[in-house]
């Protein structure tokens, strides 16, 4: 019997210069833009993609910054403990308004802390971005809808600096709510004040295994509820289960450089298994219904992490300190001028590098490397204009825009993947391998099933509750809220990342996925 088991990893030093594993490392690809050289994460030299946890870090993220940034941690802790309420709630009482106003006053009175010592640690920068964006979202979404949105300097200045180092927008992203917002039910880690909470493992150290899907929990929640946690953990479990998909992609690309009949048979097996793994991701996605109530999610969870493009009152989010010259006692920021942020969409599952990687690997986006633009510089205004011209094209444009919200190492990984000169789709289309074709189409079909499931989730958690809320408002006074403001809230809820109609966007992505199926011979 012919052996079709995966071959051992090939020594990269013997590979052709164009091989996937011999392409430039992320520190070369990432380049300038203010990002620091990252030597503080275990998998930084491998695009921060761990063999056990994929795009999630191998260790749980630190739960608290060191003591010099304790004022941030305390004010976030107070917001969560006081259970601040959304200003858009119809039952938002005067007592709640006073409690929120008192907390916002505390935020404005915070000292503007230096970020200089954060800049040497990716782990600390991630936690700082998480904490500062959560404070900002609490601050904005407890403001009365008639108030101007001005993020106060004690939050805006350090957030803009941290975001520049990380090359991320100054807003909560998928990495803040999912990738770097988890812990084990029985945590084990060093203190945040000793070695900055970073555990450095020796090569080949397997003392930390991948956490089981049900062994993780969320660190910070806006509402402190199981519904919110279940929503985040569904995505986290997809990331962990997706590690096998990344392994199958790697094994397939290794075989692509062999290209003989045995390699084709192995690739066929890998693609068939990949389809099974993606279907398991569908199951995990649909399991969110077990722990997250749709109406509670729609009315009490989702509004907390909405961005400027989904602001219910259509307000522009302003950042105090933008355009001013910054000088601090420790020399940080001398002559620095903070720039006005351009990208302020909230977190979205579309910011998952795992799903983008699957699309690229299968050739779903454009079907090849020549037509795929991994990182878009498209502004939100340009995106809206394109949406009006061509909704299907806009689906791809927005998927690329979402990569702006990914950790920079993960963006570099996608660039690296796109640069693979031998895409699997080319092998499928260029050869006469019926079983390979069937396996490839099964994997693409599984991706379509994933998109179908996502549309069902949106129908359950957003479209349905929005309709029910509209019916409720027709019977009630809606707290004296104007009809135009109520309509603005509903419209914002039904818009996705980038401000496009959510269902239209998802159907466009689903249709592009279906178009990637390779026709079988008559």
Tell me what the mean pLDDT of segment 281-305 comes to: 97
Q: What is the pLDDT of residue 475?
A: 63
Residue 421, classed as helix, strand or coil, is: coil
pLDDT tens string 395-437? 557 777 889 999 999 999 999 999 888 899 999 998 889 999 9
* Buried-exposed string 456-472: b where 16+ CB fall within 10 A, e elsewhere: ebbebbbbebbeebeee
Pick from 57, 48, 55, 50: which is nearest to 27 by CA? 48
Residue 18 pLDDT > 80: no
Q: What domains can you pick out in the chain, each with its CATH number? A: 18-49+228-296+347-515 (1.20.58.480)
pLDDT tens string 358-393? 999 999 975 433 334 333 333 444 444 344 344 455
Q: What is the pLDDT of residue 486?
A: 58
> In 261-377, where does DSSP find H-type helix?
261-286, 294-296, 353-362
Q: Which residue has the higher pLDDT, 279 or 29?
A: 279
Q: Place 293 in a pLDDT band, splitting at 50, 70 and 90.
A: very high
Report the Cα 39 to chain-centroid distance in Å. 22
pLDDT tens string 212-262? 999 999 999 999 999 999 999 999 999 999 999 999 999 999 999 888 999
Residue 9, classed as helix, strand or coil, is: coil
**DSSP designation for 10:** P
> Which residues touch 380 (CB under 8 Å, ≥6 apart)?
309, 342, 343, 345, 498, 499
Q: Is 454 annotated among the ligand-binding residues?
A: yes
Q: What is the pLDDT of residue 331?
A: 54
Q: Place 470 in a pLDDT band, splitting at 50, 70 and 90.
A: confident
* Count of CA atoms in the C-beta half-sphere (13 A) of 323: 4
> In 82-194, where does DSSP find H-type helix?
94-108, 122-141, 153-166, 174
Residue 109 pLDDT > 50: yes
Q: Place 471 in a pLDDT band, splitting at 50, 70 and 90.
A: confident
Q: What is the pLDDT of residue 337?
A: 82
Q: Place 472 in a pLDDT band, splitting at 50, 70 and 90.
A: confident
pLDDT tens string 307-331? 999 998 999 999 999 987 665 545 5
What is the three-state SS of 374-395?
Answer: CCCCCCHHHHHHHHHHCHHHHH
**Whole-structure pTM value:** 0.83
Pick from 42, 33, 22: which is nearest to 375 by CA? 33
Q: What is the mean pLDDT of the chain?
A: 81
Q: 70-84, 86-100, 184-198, 319-333: which has the minimum mean pLDDT?
A: 184-198
Tell me what the mean pLDDT of segment 187-198 comes to: 45
Kindly state the helix (H) or strand (E) to which residue 184 belongs, with its residue range.
Answer: strand 182-184
């Amino acid at each position: 019997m012919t052996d079709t088991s995966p071959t051992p990893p090939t020594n990269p030093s013997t590979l052709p210069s164009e091989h996937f594993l011999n392409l430039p490392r992320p520190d070369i690809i990432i380049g300038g833009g203010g990002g620091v050289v990252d030597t503080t994460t275990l998998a930084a030299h491998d695009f921060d993609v761990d063999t056990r946890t994929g795009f999630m870090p191998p260790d749980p993220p630190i739960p608290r910054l060191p003591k010099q940034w304790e004022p941030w941690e305390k004010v976030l802790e107070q917001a969560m403990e006081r259970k601040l309420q959304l200003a858009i709630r119809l039952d938002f009482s005067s007592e709640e308004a006073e409690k929120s106003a008192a907390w916002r006053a505390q935020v404005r009175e915070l000292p503007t802390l230096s970020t200089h010592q954060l800049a040497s640690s990716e782990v600390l920068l991630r936690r700082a971005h998480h904490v500062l964006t959560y404070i900002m979202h609490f601050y904005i979404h407890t403001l009365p809808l008639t108030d101007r949105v001005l993020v106060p300097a004690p939050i805006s200045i350090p957030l803009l600096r941290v975001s520049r180092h990380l090359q991320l927008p100054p807003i909560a992203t998928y990495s803040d709510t999912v990738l770097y917002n988890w812990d084990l039910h029985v945590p084990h880690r060093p203190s945040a004040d000793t070695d900055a909470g970073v555990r450095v493992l020796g090569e080949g150290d397997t003392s930390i295994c991948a956490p089981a899907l049900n062994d993780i929990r969320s660190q910070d929640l806006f509402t402190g509820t199981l519904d919110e946690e279940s929503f985040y953990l569904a995505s986290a479990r997809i990331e962990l289960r997706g590690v096998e998909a990344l392994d199958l992609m790697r094994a397939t690309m290794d075989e692509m450089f062999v290209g003989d009949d045995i390699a084709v048979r192995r690739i066929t097996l890998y693609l068939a298994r990949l389809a099974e793994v993606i279907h398991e991701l569908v199951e995990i996605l649909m399991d969110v219904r077990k722990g997250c109530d749709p109406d509670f999610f729609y009315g009490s969870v989702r509004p907390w992490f909405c961005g400027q493009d989904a602001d219910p009152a259509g307000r522009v989010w302003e950042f105090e300190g933008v355009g001013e010259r910054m000088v601090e006692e420790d020399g940080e920021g001398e002559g620095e001028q903070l720039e006005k942020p351009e990208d302020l969409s909230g977190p979205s599952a579309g910011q998952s590098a795992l799903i983008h990687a699957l699309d690229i690997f299968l050739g779903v986006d454009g079907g090849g490397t020549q037509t795929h633009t991994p990182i878009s510089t498209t502004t939100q205004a340009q995106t809206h204009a394109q949406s009006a011209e061509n909704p299907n094209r806009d689906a791809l444009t927005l998927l690329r825009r979402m990569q702006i919200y990914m950790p920079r190492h993960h963006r570099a990984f996608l660039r690296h993947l796109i640069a693979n000169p031998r895409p699997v789709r080319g092998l499928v289309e260029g050869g006469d391998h019926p079983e390979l074709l069937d396996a490839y189409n099964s994997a693409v079909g599984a991706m379509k099933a994933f998109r179908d499931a996502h549309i069902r989730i949106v129908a359950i958690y957003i479209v349905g509750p929005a309709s029910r809320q509209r019916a409720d408002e027709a019977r009630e006074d809606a707290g004296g809220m104007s009809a135009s403001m109520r309509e603005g809230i509903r419209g914002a809820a039904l818009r996705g990342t980038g401000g496009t109609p959510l269902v239209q966007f998802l159907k466009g992505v689903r249709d592009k996925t279906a178009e990637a199926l390779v026709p079988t011979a008559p």
